[in-house]
Amino acid sequence: MTMADTLHPLLASLAGTGRMIRVLLVDDERLARAELRRMLACHAGVAVVGEAANAAEAALQVAALQPDLLLLDVQMPGASGFDLLAALDDPPEVIFTTAFDQYALQAFEASALDYLMKPIEPRRLAAALERAAARLGFAPAPSTIPRKLFIRDGERCWFVRLEDIRLFESEGNYTRLYFDGAAPLLARSLLQLEQRLDPQQFFRANRRHIVNLAAVCSIENGDGGAVLLRVDGMSVEVSRRRVAALKQLQEF
């Protein structure tokens, strides 16, 4: 076993399994993309499936190729890397690559796998790919990777697993998401989000709210026979036509 295999066992194990991390390169500099291709060619468990020179091209490539991982430049002509992620309904995992370190805090608030400064060091790239393999479930024991949302509200960004969102609240064409003490607005309607949610875990309580049933502290009776779900100190009333559906769920 080589030193590299010891440091990065998941990447080493992929070589003999036929499983590949499918990577899309997004950078406005052609030479930067070529250098990333050269570096990634050293890893047998990684396949570059496409390239994009800007956010618009990348959005099309993500839809067509369904990559597992983006190696994503932050600052590009037109839309930024953060703008790209905000436009994707189901963004892949991300390793940011950039020459500008002032974006680092925002990148890590977005729960990126890593933030690599150019010129990129091969050992740092390998370590980031190892984290990607772990998060994507390429460990020897299969794991289920929950789907997630990229959220940008003002200057703050998050990657949030759907299962960690406790409450969705409609505000017109936007939805407010409650998780980990935060409550940012997402530029998606509640209906759009509902189509991505597991109905066994996320319950449409009324026209304005979808509740993560795992986050429900208690079910209470309100005035006039109303049913209330308590979530993080908030009361969400179940509409009359949804009470029967709530009772049918096995969890309740």
Q: Per-residue pLDDT tens for 33-90?
A: 999 999 999 888 899 999 999 999 999 999 999 999 999 999 999 999 989 998 988 8
In order, the DSSP letters of 130-152 are: HHHHHHTT-SSS--PPPPEEEEE
Question: For position 224, what pLDDT does the model report?
Answer: 73
For the domain covering 160-248, report its CATH number: 2.40.50.1020
Give the residue extent of every domain in the chain. Answer: 3-135, 160-248
DSSP for 197-250 reads S-TTTEEE-SSSEEEEGGGEEEEEE-GGG-EEEEETTEEEEEPHHHHHHHHHST
* Concatenated DSSP letters of 1-35: --HHHHH-HHHHHHTTT---EEEEEE-S-HHHHHH
Tens digits of residue pLDDT in 195-229: 788 888 899 999 999 999 999 999 888 777 788 99
Tokens matching residue 105 = 């805090």
The CA distance from 129 to 144, in Å, is: 18
The mean pLDDT of 106-133, rounded to a whole number, is: 82
Q: Is the pLDDT of residue 3 over 60?
A: no
Residue 149, pLDDT score: 87
More confident residue, 246 or 76: 76
DSSP 109: H
Decide if domain 3-135 falls under CATH 3.30.530.20.
Answer: no
| Cβ atoms within 10 Å, residue 138 | 22
